Amino acid sequence: MLKQNPFLITDYVSPDFFCNRHSERQNIISALDNGRNLTLLSIRRLGKTGLIKHVFYQLKGRKNTRLLYIDIISTQNIDDFIKLFSNAILADEKDHANFLKKIQSLISGIKGKLVFDPTSGMPEVEINYNSKSEREHSLEKIFNYLAAQKEKYIIAFDEFQQITEYPQKNMEAILRTHIQHQHKDQFIFSGSNKHLLISIFSDYGRPFYQSSDILELQRLKTGEYAKFIVGHFNKNHKEIDENLVKEYIEYFDNHTFYIQYFFNRLFAMAYKKFRDTEFRICIDAILREKEGVFYTYRNLLTTAQFALLKSIAKEKELARPNSKEFLQKYNFTASSVNRTLKALIDKEMVYQENTKYKVYDVFLSKWLEKLN
């Protein structure tokens, strides 16, 4: 039987395949246990979703506690939000007592229709609202339903900043009104747009102002991550050089997804010993496979945008984009860099971290470094 590859790149499985985050987990659970909501933010693919599910794994055995994880990145409006929220409740209720009675109460309250997914057979909500009042009334009924249950609900809204994109511009105020009255329930708000999330919860005058603790997820430390990786290789009778592991963790900028993906691929190779040669074979294969996508990026960007993206990759991180040294080295002008950098940030090709600019996709960055 094929053994589980320990370097997961999709969903959370168990603590056995999760590296560290002990203090972050304790901070989140402490906030929830003491009646404080919490906002978790990080750049994309650093492990915030995995951390939420790791916390839920620790809490799932608690008596009278229900856990709902809801990723709202795909939602475009309040109707989508209501449907996703309702379906999460239905999915959670299906294995509990009085299921039919409870879902009838929920469905009638939100003026929805119960349908069944033809593939999974799972019950789902179908809604079609004609007015603003119907939408807001239905959202109120969902929160009333949760408040009426004896269990405590811990609800995680992932990519919470998406609500700012809804055509209903009062969505923050609507949600805040309901959430502040959920006295037994706690909420985790998470997302990858740091600027937007901090603005939602820290700007005076916005509905969610100071209504939540804020925890920013940092990169895992090299030594801790290396022990985790080496331990799993050794457990599976594979020999690997710990110093080389540390070198590659830092090569991938301690960025969780790219480290997990690389070591997932390395682990899958038919070797018992892993040295520099095997590491190089693996990364070369990954970059070669992704080259078609990377060339597509080049075709979608303007010449100036691609040139600046490549220069940031070659610098690895760019602290002063308007410095004379950088402008002369890559033959840019300050005005063009400012304009082009903003475009790359808007396209989410580049992000700013601690005053330094980096290419978001680490594999793309490594591919760009190799270009002339």
pTM over 0.85: yes
Cα–Cα dist 147/181, whole Å: 9
Lowest mean pLDDT across 62-76, 125-139, 204-218, 338-352 = 125-139
Q: How far is CA 88 from CA 94, 110, 115, 155, in A?
A: 10, 14, 14, 10
**Where along the chain do its domains lie?**
21-216, 222-369
DSSP lists the bridge partners of residue 141 as: none
The mean per-residue pLDDT over the stretch 159-180 comes to 96
Which of the residue ranges 54-68, 126-140, 142-156 would you say has the lowest mean pLDDT?
Answer: 126-140
Burial of 130 from C-beta contacts in 10 A (0-12 / 13-18 / 19+): exposed
CA 174 from centroid of its chain's CA atoms: 24
Its CATH class, for the domain covering 21-216, is: alpha beta
Share of residues in the chain with pLDDT > 70 (%):
99
* Total Cβ atoms within 10 A of residue 186: 21
pLDDT tens sequence across 171-225: 999 999 999 999 999 999 999 998 899 999 999 999 999 999 999 999 999 999 9
Mean pLDDT of the chain: 94
pLDDT band at 126 (very low <50, low <70, confident <90, very high): confident
Nearest-angstrom CA–CA distance, 208 and 175: 9
The token pair that represents 209 in the structure block: 């102002």
pLDDT digits (tens, 9 = 90+) for 227-267: 999 999 999 999 999 999 999 999 999 999 999 999 999 99
Class of domain 222-369: mainly alpha
The pLDDT score that the predictor gives to residue 276 is 96
